């Protein structure tokens, strides 16, 4: 225990009795536990340790599983089957079948495979890319979140994968944080209201009275509530930083989403890279074991983040007994899974990791695999056979609905919006015809990218949606990235905002959009206004930013967040129907406070 408290830092300081006890999602199952007992009795030490190791598919071949009885695989933000390039669905399915067969031929315990499907199956060409969570928070509808989760699960399962590393339940309190868009917002009540629905969408409902109950059946995937706990509250919004709060505030603010997620039956929880009052969460016995597992009753897999264990004192990517002793059940071993496997075996043999702690970790992993029906499921390609193709029309229609319901109207001078559809419309700006920019980070690659429309088959850029909308009403749309139109338009729609980013690279020292944009967007808007043109600004952003000058230079200003692959959903909100009616009024509301100036950071009390 001394080792645990040293590595966990203040592991004994928590007060588990002040934390909630969520309603138990699944009743204790003696038959399931007896099945686990029988499996444990026949497993070797190496097989048990193997279950606690998750390795990146870019670093593991099916042949490796014959020698190394790994319990899980993951596709990292830049990883795909066989390496780091983008591959089609059939390659995912073939790899999933090969890994599944190899694990059965080796340890006999099927391997599970997860990915960061945070707004769709974002490493798959042709998948539906949904708006990021911050946009779903602006919509604020649990049913919409549930349906989006259901569609994401189906697209992930259609490629033979079992597990999504979502939903993110961070309560983003500082928009300077580069992962703010992964949060539903800054209000703990909002996050709590959407958390359970997000889990249910991915896994299916646990309640036996729900018609068509399909908890963890084919077409559903294992969900992951992350990142436990406080990742949205670090000082100055620094990713992997330190959240400095009393325990009651940590519970009430950053813990708000976890009770509903547990009640919804979430099967995995991922530990945070961040720290709480100086103690790294990957080694925090008090919060991981005493609070989450013992007090809150979580009986699934407590998963590490990408080599997160390596940040603990005395640990490396290939060695970290402190994390397992603190309560981690499965390492996400990104860079040295072989070394970590061998070291963990030795640590159990020497007693640095108690045998009982290893047995508990493996029991939890097997429990989730059995609940998921993994031992009975056929090869991944057979499970996926009846599922819709990723990018199916119904999923794209749902994503388009999510876009419409998430947009926030910040300015509308003279009731300019919605526009008559039969106008000559000029469209400009760097985000007008760039599906990568409108989708943001965690899209095809970890940090996202721009200028790659050819990698989004079936998707629609914002300009594409505008062109379709006005053509139906007899109008016209002209795209001029430099703002020089061949024909003078009746109105200009300017699409601009943040370039794509993800964690770490997305952290900002301030919230002044114009400063980081170097005034380019303001100059574009000023040039359009100088021509006497009405200007509608569509702003792409993963967080609230100070845009005072850009607002002043616009007649209407629409916050589109990061809408994803269905840019037509933005166009739906900008135009009236051909008969002049308003089909889709703006209903989105800000899920985070808007900064009053670029150096102002408004953090809710």
Q: In what order do the strands lie in the sheet with 53-56?
A: 163-164, 112-115, 72-75, 53-56, 330-333, 301-306, 268-271, 224-228
Residue 596 annotated among the catalytic residues of the structure: no
First and final C-alpha spacing in the chain:
36
Q: Identify the sign of the CA torsion 255, 259, 261, 267.
A: positive
CA 444, 445, 451, 455: dihedral to nearest 10 degrees? Answer: -30
Report the run of H or E that residue 36 belongs to, with start and end: helix 30-42
* DSSP-based three-state secondary structure for 245: coil
d(CA 81, CA 76): 10
Q: Which residues contact 300 (CB under 8 A, 6 or more apart)?
A: 266, 267, 268, 269, 364, 367, 368
Beta carbons of 78 and 445 less than 8 angstroms apart: yes
Q: How many CB atoms lie within 10 A of CB 514?
A: 18
Q: Check: CB of residue 92 under 8 Å from CB of residue 123.
A: no
The answer to whether 459 and 565 are in contact (CB under 8 A) is yes
> What is d(CA 492, CA 373) in angstroms, rounded to the nearest whole number?
54
**Of the listed 47, 155, 307, 503, which one is catalytic?**
503
From residue 2, alpha-carbon distances to 228, 313, 319, 325, 326 in Å are 23, 13, 18, 10, 11
Please answer whether residues 441 and 497 qualify as being in contact, where contact means their C-beta atoms are separated by less than 8 angstroms.
Answer: no
503 is catalytic: yes
- Please provide residue 54's backbone torsions phi and psi, each rounded to the nearest 5 degrees: -110, 125
Edge-first strand order for the sheet with 279-280 is 242-243, 275-276, 279-280
Within the chain, what is the greatest distance between any pair of CA atoms?
A: 79
Torsion of CA 501, 506, 511, 517, to 10 degrees: -50
Q: What's the CA angle centered on 442, arms 73 and 193, to 5 degrees?
A: 90
Q: Which of 264, 346, 348, 567 is nearest to 437 (CA)?
A: 567
SS3 state of residue 141: coil
- The enclosing H or E element of 94 equals helix 89-105
Element (H, E) at 269: strand 268-271
Catalytic residue among 182, 200, 239, 305: 305
Cβ burial, residue 324 (10 Å; 0-12/13-18/19+):
buried
Answer for the pair 120, 161: CB distance below 8 angstroms, yes or no: no
What is the rounded CA–CA span in Å between residue 259 and residue 148? 21
31 Cβ neighbours under 8 A, 6+ residues apart: none
Show which residues are catalytic: 305, 503
């Amino acid at each position: 225990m001394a080792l645990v408290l040293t590595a966990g830092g203040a592991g004994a300081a928590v007060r588990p009795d002040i934390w909630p006890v969520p309603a138990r999602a699944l009743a204790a199952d003696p038959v399931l536990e007896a099945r686990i007992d029988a499996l444990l009795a026949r497993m070797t030490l190496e097989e048990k340790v193997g279950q606690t190791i998750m390795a990146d598919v870019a670093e593991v071949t099916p042949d490796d599983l014959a020698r190394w009885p790994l319990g899980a695989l993951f596709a990292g933000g830049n990883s795909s089957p066989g390496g780091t390039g983008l591959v089609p669905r059939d390659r995912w399915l073939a790899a999933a079948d090969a890994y599944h067969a190899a694990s059965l031929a080796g340890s006999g315990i099927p391997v599970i495979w997860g990915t960061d499907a945070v707004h769709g199956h974002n490493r798959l060409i042709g998948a539906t890319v949904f708006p990021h969570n911050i946009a779903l928070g602006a919509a604020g509808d649990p049913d919409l979140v549930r349906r989006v989760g259901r569609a994401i699960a189906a697209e992930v399962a259609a490629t033979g994968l079992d597990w999504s590393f979502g939903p993110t339940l961070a309560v983003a309190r500082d928009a300077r944080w580069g992962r703010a868009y992964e949060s539903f917002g800054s209000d703990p009540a909002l996050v709590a209201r959407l958390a359970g629905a997000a889990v249910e969408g991915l896994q299916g409902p646990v309640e036996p009275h729900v018609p068509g109950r399909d908890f963890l059946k084919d077409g559903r995937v294992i969900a992951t509530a992350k990142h436990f706990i406080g990742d949205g509250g670090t000082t100055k919004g620094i990713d992997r930083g330190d959240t400095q709060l009393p325990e009651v505030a940590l519970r009430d603010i950053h813990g708000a989403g976890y009770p509903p997620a547990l009640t919804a039956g979430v099967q995995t929880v991922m530990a945070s890279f961040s720290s709480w009052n100086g103690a790294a969460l990957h080694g925090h016995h008090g919060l991981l074991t005493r609070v989450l597992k013992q007090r809150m009753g979580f009986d699934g897999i407590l998963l590490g983040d990408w080599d997160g264990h390596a940040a603990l004192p005395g640990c490396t990517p290939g060695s970290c007994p402190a994390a397992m002793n603190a309560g981690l059940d499965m390492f996400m071993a990104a860079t040295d899974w072989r070394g970590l496997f061998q070291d963990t075996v030795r640590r159990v043999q020497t007693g640095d990791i108690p045998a009982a702690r290893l047995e508990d970790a493996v029991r939890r992993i097997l429990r989730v695999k059995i609940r998921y029906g993994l031992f009975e499921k056929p090869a991944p390609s057979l499970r996926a056979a009846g599922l819709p193709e990723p990018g199916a029309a119904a999923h794209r229609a749902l994503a388009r609905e999510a876009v419409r319901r998430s947009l926030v109207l910040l300015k509308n001078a003279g009731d300019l919006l919605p526009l008559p559809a039969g106008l000559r419309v000029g469209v400009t700006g760097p985000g007008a015809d760039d599906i990568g920019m409108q989708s943001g980070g965690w899209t095809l690659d970890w940090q996202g990218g721009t200028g790659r429309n050819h990698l989004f088959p079936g998707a629609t850029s914002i300009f594409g949606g505008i062109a379709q909308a006005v053509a139906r009403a007899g109008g016209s749309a002209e795209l001029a990235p430099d703002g020089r139109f061949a024909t003078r338009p009746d109105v200009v729609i300017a699409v601009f905002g943040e370039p794509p980013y993800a964690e770490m690279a997305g952290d900002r020292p301030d919230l002044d959009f114009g400063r980081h944009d170097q005034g380019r967007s303001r100059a574009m808007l000023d040039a359009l206004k100088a021509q006497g043109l009405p200007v509608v600004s569509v702003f792409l952003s993963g967080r609230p930013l100070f845009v005072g000058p850009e607002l002043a230079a616009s007649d209407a200003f629409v916050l589109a967040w990061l809408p994803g692959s269905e840019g037509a959903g933005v166009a739906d909100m900008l135009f009236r129907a051909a008969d002049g009616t308003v089909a889709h009024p703006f209903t989105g509301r800000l899920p985070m406070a808007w900064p009053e100036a670029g150096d102002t950071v408004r953090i809710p009390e």
